[in-house]
Amino acid sequence: MLRRLTRREGLAMAGAGLLAGGAAPDHAPLDVLARRKGLRFGTALGAEGLADRGYLALVARECGALVAENEHKLYALKPGAPDEWRWAGADRIAAFAADRGMFLRGHTLLWNRDEFAPDWLKRQGLGSQAEGERWLTAHVRTVIGRYPQIRSWDVVNETIDPATGAMRDTVFTRAMGADAVEIAFRAAHEAAPQARLAYNDYMGWGPSDAKHRAGVLRLLERLKARGVPIHTFGVQGHIPNGDAGNVVVFSQADQREWRAFVDEVRGLGLDLVITQLDVNDTVLPADPTRRDAIAAGLVRDFLDLMLDYRELKQVLVWGLSDRHSWLQTWWPRPDRLPKRPTPYDAELRPKAMRAAIADALRGAPERTPWT
Ligand code: XIL
């Protein structure tokens, strides 16, 4: 049995011009709507997107902020050997952003997960604490040094194990212990004293993510207590996120828990960025209109809550079109239908999610922008 659309889902569809007689869509670019409130709107861009002219035109029209989807990661910069540097992809994304005056974010200097460390590094390890520190400091310096235009870095990504709330055991922590995180932040601050440095993670809002949230909070508290230069908390915003994989509502109870978590982060004096917004629609209904409406409703609820925080300075989606979403291949639907995780469909037509983002931005309180 199909359930009726909620009022919010109906409004999202009307906003996207999908309902007969619905309101005309507002074509102001999302970054323009964001800027009116002191925010920036942007997207991740990867190699596939860079080769797609229609897509690039859309990115240029909608976005004022950009982040490389993979190109700054260690596995992309040094896939095969300790001494090689493959800058070409990252350079092209940096040039695209510079040509259009876009705010470029950097992702990420230390992805503290062995799944995403290159094989050569895992094979050879980093040696002693001092050797590890030398290696990591040099890495951070080199990457930051090449991109002085980047004013916001995800210095450390996903270092908390969702299952335990403790720091993950990795090739980096085997050399440096938990200090790896602190070393990365201090090196980044030295290399780019003006840059806003972020810890970034994917903890979700549901009860199954309580340990993840608590672990992240403990980490942030520890870093602040030790005077580590950290300025921003990156909320990835993959919905439904966390490891439960089946959250399709943002219930009042979950919203209370999530607010309590964000309040604590705010209490530490950190700014907020939504760094990787998308909706994993694996378990949503097959019908595209219904699927889009539910996804848009989730995004709207999440953004409404987050935009209430004046500390939230940027909203970036992890891909602007379903054509270039990582979720197509990472978590295909059991029915094999193409996924619809982003604001634009595969033909670059705006979906209900695009209207939901626009409406949320229009309704957001003003804040002091990042300079
Ligand atoms: C993903 C990319 O989108 C994929 O192309 C790549 O194969 C794997 O990484 N959290 C993150 C991002 O911090 O770096 C991930 O990006 C998505 C989840």
Domain 7-18+25-362 class in CATH? alpha beta
Q: Whose CA is nearest to atom 7 of ligand 1?
A: 326
DSSP 327-359: HHHHS--TT-PPP--SSB-TTS-B-HHHHHHHH
pLDDT on residue 316:
99
154 lines ligand 1 (CB under 6 A): no
The answer to whether the beta carbons of residues 67 and 88 sit under 8 Å apart is no
Ligand 1 centroid to Cα of residue 320, in Å, is: 14
Q: Where are the domains positioned within the chain?
A: 7-18+25-362
Ligand 1 centroid to Cα of residue 70, in Å, is: 7
Rounded distance between C-alpha atoms, residue 236 and residue 78, angstroms: 24
pLDDT on residue 18:
45
Number of neighbouring beta carbons within 10 Å of residue 52 = 16
Rounded mean pLDDT of 22-49?
89
pLDDT, tens digit, 9 for 90 and up, residues 181-223: 999 999 999 999 999 999 999 999 989 899 999 999 999 999 9
Indicate which atom in ligand 1 lies nearest the CA of residue 154: 13
For residue 287, give the 3-state DSSP assignment: coil
Q: Whose CA is nearest to atom 16 of ligand 1?
A: 69
User: Which of 95-104, 247-256, 330-339 tops mean pLDDT?
Assistant: 95-104
Ligand 1 centroid to Cα of residue 330, in Å, is: 9
- Residue appearing with tokens 């990504």: 157
pLDDT on residue 236:
98
- Residue appearing with tokens 């916001």: 152
pLDDT on residue 248:
72
326 lines ligand 1 (CB under 6 A): yes
69 lines ligand 1 (CB under 6 A): yes
Query: Which residues share a beta bridge with 107?
Result: 154
70 lines ligand 1 (CB under 6 A): yes
pLDDT, tens digit, 9 for 90 and up, residues 101-138: 999 999 999 999 999 999 999 999 999 999 999 999 99
Rounded distance between C-alpha atoms, residue 94 and residue 193, angstroms: 20
pLDDT, tens digit, 9 for 90 and up, residues 44-67: 999 999 999 999 999 999 999 999
